[in-house]
């Protein structure tokens, strides 16, 4: 590797690589959009990434850790260290605006702001605000189940945490 | 099979077997440090409760409740994985979370008797959940002040989720106790049975005292009162009557369990014991 190539192995490149690492269960949203990346630092071609999974029992966490390692390798980093930190716990406010709109387009209502945590979501199908909560627990640890009174469809929402 | 597999799927994701011999451990070791005792009982509480909750999978009163209780189970098993992994590291004998979960007999488990009680009906399950989550919330709040950074980190991560569970269980206790004559009767019956196991939750044995004094597992002096302050208003709002009780029943922390635990473990551990080292 030339010195010039080596100097491109920086934080910006790492962030770029991680923007293509998708949530295994919600394939439209990346680990960057989710806001699970605490920090990235690069030294001598070695990338150190700290992440906080969304939920303690998130079964996707280990997959995401592996995928992050793979993505960093593919970008040319000599080696990588991905560490998991549980506190402070992830909050849904860490999700990016882009992430929220990608979720909506995919059919999953994005989380509310923590300040307004009990507000009802708009239906991702028909955009009606006549929705109600069926269960605080959905098909995965991070989602809750709602129903739209207007179009009758059930839908999930990423939970506010 | 599915509840069993659910537990196994999560617990066997851990890779990299150390070549550890898979000899079942039957009794509590004498030389267990207070740190190891605390980590193990945190993990055992979570594991046993998680396994109990998976028994509802496919059998709950409604589809939404099936998903909800399965999620509670998953969260609990997730907690167990973290605590038992830390316990293995603390013990320093190369035992993994899977070794702790699948290769110990009931006599070596240190969970509270409350969590091994059979699920019974939905009222029994929700009353158990409520009484336990009130306890767990306080434990985690105290553990956030631990001098051990790994413990502090885990406790901080779990606290939000446990508060979510507590709210859920509390809502169900109120809904059932204030529902029909039948649901109210069943809730009272659940409380009559499970109340006997609550003094054990509040027990301050030697491990608790040592771990509290060295900062590893801080424990507020008002723990019993604070627990009662969470639980009492809900029971009162549900017009539930507290049973007369003297001492309650304990022994779980010393490996002395009800007849239920070994049966549950037999089902949970069967596949791993039949095919040692099995991985998904």
Provide the percentage of residues in chain A whose pLDDT is more than 70. 96
pLDDT tier, A7 (very low <50, low <70, confident <90, very high otherwise): low
CB-defined contacts A:B, below 8 A: 71
**Residue whose C-alpha is closest to residue B60's, from B52, B49, B68:** B68
State residue A59's pLDDT score: 79
B77: chain A residues, CB-CB within 8 Å: 57
How many angstroms separate the CA atoms of B98 and B216, rounded? 24
A137: chain B residues, CB-CB within 8 Å: 64, 67-68, 70-72, 168
Residue B94's region, left for phi above 0, alpha for psi from -120 to 50, else beta, is left
**Residue whose C-alpha is closest to residue B252's, from B158, B135, B86:** B135
- Using the Cβ of A84 and the Cβ atoms of chain B, whether some distance falls under 8 Å is answered with no
ipTM score for this prediction: 0.77
With beta carbons less than 8 A apart as the criterion, state whether B142 and B217 touch: yes
User: SS3 string of chain A?
Assistant: CCHHHHHCCCHHHHHHHHCCCECCCCCCCEHHHHCCEEEEEEECCEEEEEECCCCCCCCHHHHHHHHHHHHHHHCCCCEEEEEECCCCCCCHHHCCHHHHHHHHHHCEECCCCHHHCCCCCCCCCCCCCCEEEEECCCCCCCEEEEEECCCCCEEEEECCC
State residue B8's pLDDT score: 46
Is the Cβ pair A62, B161 closer than 8 Å? no
pLDDT tier, A23 (very low <50, low <70, confident <90, very high otherwise): very high
Tell me which residue in A87, A136, A139 faces B156 most closely, judged by beta carbons.
Answer: A87
State residue A139's pLDDT score: 84
State residue A111's pLDDT score: 93
How many angstroms separate the CA atoms of A58 and A44, rounded? 32
pLDDT in tens, chain B (280 residues): 444 444 444 444 444 444 455 678 888 888 899 999 999 999 999 999 999 999 999 999 998 899 899 999 999 999 999 999 999 999 999 999 999 999 999 999 999 999 999 999 999 999 999 999 999 999 999 999 999 999 999 999 999 899 999 999 999 999 999 999 999 999 999 999 999 999 999 999 999 999 999 999 999 999 999 999 999 999 999 999 988 776 899 999 999 999 999 999 999 999 999 999 888 7
State residue A9's pLDDT score: 83
State residue B22's pLDDT score: 66
- The reported pTM is 0.86
State residue A6's pLDDT score: 52
The residues, any chain, with a CB within 8 Å of residue B18's CB and separated by 6 or more, are B94, B96
């Amino acid at each position: 590797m030339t010195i010039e190539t080596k100097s491109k192995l920086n934080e910006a490149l790492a962030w770029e690589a991680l923007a293509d690492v998708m949530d295994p269960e919600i394939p439209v949203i990346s680990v960057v959009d989710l806001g699970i990346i605490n920090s990235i630092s690069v030294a001598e071609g070695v990338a150190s990434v700290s992440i906080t999974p969304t939920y303690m029992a998130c079964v996707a966490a280990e997959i995401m850790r592996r995928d992050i390692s793979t993505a960093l390798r593919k970008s040319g980093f000599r080696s990588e260290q991905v560490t998991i930190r549980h506190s402070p716990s992830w909050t849904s406010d860490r999700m990016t605006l882009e992430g929220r709109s990608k979720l909506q387009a995919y059919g999953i209502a994005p989380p509310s702001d923590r300040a307004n945590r009990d507000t009802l979501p708009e239906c991702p199908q028909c955009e009606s605000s006549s929705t109600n909560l069926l269960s605080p627990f959905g098909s995965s640890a991070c989602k809750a189940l709602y129903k739209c009174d207007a179009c009758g469809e059930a839908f999930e929402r990423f939970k506010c945490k | 099979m599915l509840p069993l597999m659910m537990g196994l799927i999560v617990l066997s994701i851990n890779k990299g077997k150390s070549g550890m011999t898979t000899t079942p451990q039957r009794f509590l070791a004498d030389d267990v440090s207070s740190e190891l005792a605390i980590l193990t009982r945190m993990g055992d509480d979570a594991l046993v409760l998680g396994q109990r909750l998976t028994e509802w999978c496919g059998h709950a009163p409604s589809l939404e409740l099936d998903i909800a209780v399965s999620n509670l189970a998953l969260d609990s098993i997730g907690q167990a994985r973290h605590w038992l992994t830390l316990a293995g590291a603390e013990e320093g004998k190369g035992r993994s979370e899977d070794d702790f979960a699948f290769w110990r007999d009931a006599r070596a488990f240190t969970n509270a008797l409350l969590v091994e009680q059979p699920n019974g009906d939905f009222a029994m399950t929700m009353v158990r959940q409520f009484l336990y989550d009130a306890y767990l919330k306080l434990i985690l709040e105290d553990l956030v002040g631990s001098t051990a950074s790994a413990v502090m980190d885990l406790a901080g991560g779990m606290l939000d989720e446990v508060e979510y569970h507590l709210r859920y269980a509390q809502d169900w206790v109120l809904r059932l106790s204030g529902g029909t004559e039948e649901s109210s009767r069943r809730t009272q019956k659940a409380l009559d049975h499970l109340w006997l196991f609550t003094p054990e939750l509040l027990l301050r044995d030697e491990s608790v005292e040592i771990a509290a004094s060295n900062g590893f597992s801080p424990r507020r002096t008002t723990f019993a009162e604070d627990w009662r302050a969470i639980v009492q208003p809900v029971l009162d709002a549900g017009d539930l009557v507290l049973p007369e009780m003297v001492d309650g029943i304990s022994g779980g922390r010393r490996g002395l369990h009800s007849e239920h635990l070994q049966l549950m473990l037999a089902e949970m551990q069967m596949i791993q014991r039949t095919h040692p080292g099995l991985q998904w």
